[in-house]
Chain A
Amino acid sequence: DTEVTQTPKHLVMGMTNKKSLKCEQHMGHRAMYWYKQKAKKPPELMFVYSYEKLSINESVPSRFSPECPNSSLLNLHLHALQPEDSALYLCASSQDRPGGFQETQYFGPGTRLLVL
């Protein structure tokens, strides 16, 4: 099973709302990632968690708050977003073995977010 699931598939929110995106994998992977993808562009890395600890934050605004409650679950909490934050948000996971930068990242289907 190489599946990463993401909910919801679509989300519309106002600039004053608080919402959360959820990502789940049951492959025993210990690295999990959030990416943001604008239309016709490649994914941009936002956050990396390794063994439930935040290891990389690519200077993402604080209105995006990641959380990794356990090794299978990754959340992205959203608050006071701007219209330019509208995008496809992708979650990915990989095994995270030592020296394992040849590992494959497995991507979920994404959550399409629209901020009004």
Chain B
Amino acid sequence: AQSVTQLDSQVPVFEEAPVELRCNYSSSVSVYLFWYVQYPNQGLQLLLKYLSGSTLVKGINGFEAEFNKSQTSFHLRKPSVHISDTAEYFCAVSSPARQLTFGSGTQLTVLP
């Protein structure tokens, strides 16, 4: 069984400040982790994914995430956010049945 916990439901941050969105997972099999972003009234867009190899994964729009097996975490970071980064962010883990288990989501609000 797999599960994902996103520790913060809402993260407000000022423009140009750094941000970290936290994600912890549990899985009994090999781990494949994803971060998706959902802008208002849109579908989900892949930001980045961890499959294997380097634990630091770079994604689109300046986001990166670090896979930490000992802490079972996959936190998402950006060094300087923009107003346009305001969106809902979902962490997800994939199962052998190709099912994505999503976390509850984190609403990132970038303030001017």
User: Contact residues of A with B, CB < 8 Å?
Assistant: 4, 6, 31, 40-43, 45, 48, 50, 56, 90, 92, 94, 96, 99-110, 112
Residue of chain B at shortest CB distance from A103:
B98
B interface majority secondary structure: loop
Is A102's CB under 8 angstroms from B51's CB?
A: yes
Let me know if B49 and A104 touch, CB within 8 A: yes
Contacting B98 at CB < 8 Å: which of A43, A100, A108, A109? A100
Closest-by-CB residue of A relative to B92 is A42
* Tally of B interface residues using CB under 8 Å: 24
Contact with A along B16-59 (1 / 0, CB 8 A): 00000000000000001010100001111110010100000000
Which residue of B is nearest A90, CB measured? B43
- A89 to B89: give the CA distance in the assembly, Å: 18
Chain A residues with CB below 8 A from B51, complex form: 102
Contact B105–A42 (Cβ < 8 Å)? yes
Q: Are A42 and B104 in contact (CB under 8 A)?
A: yes
B43 touches which of A56, A99, A104, A109 (Cβ 8 Å):
A109
Find chain B residues with CB under 8 A from A112 CB.
41
A105 touches B100 (CB 8 A): yes
- Whether B98 and A31, one on each chain, are in contact in the complex, defined by CB atoms closer than 8 angstroms, is yes
CA distance A43 to B101 in the complex (A): 9
A90 to B43, CA, bound (A): 7
Give residues of chain B (52-75) contacting chain A, Cβ–Cβ below 8 Å: none
Q: A42-B105, A103-B98 are in contact. Are A108 and B43 (CB under 8 A)?
A: yes
Q: Is the CB of B98 within 8 A of A101?
A: yes
> Is the CB–CB distance between B43 and A48 below 8 Å?
no
16 contacts between A and B (CB under 8 A): A4-B43, A6-B43, A41-B104, A42-B102, A43-B100, A56-B97, A56-B99, A90-B44, A94-B98, A96-B98, A99-B96, A102-B32, A105-B98, A107-B43, A108-B43, A110-B43
Residues of A within 8 A of B109 (CB): none
Interface residue B86 (Cβ < 8 Å from any Cβ of A) = no
For A42, the chain B residues whose CB sits under 8 A away are 90, 102-105
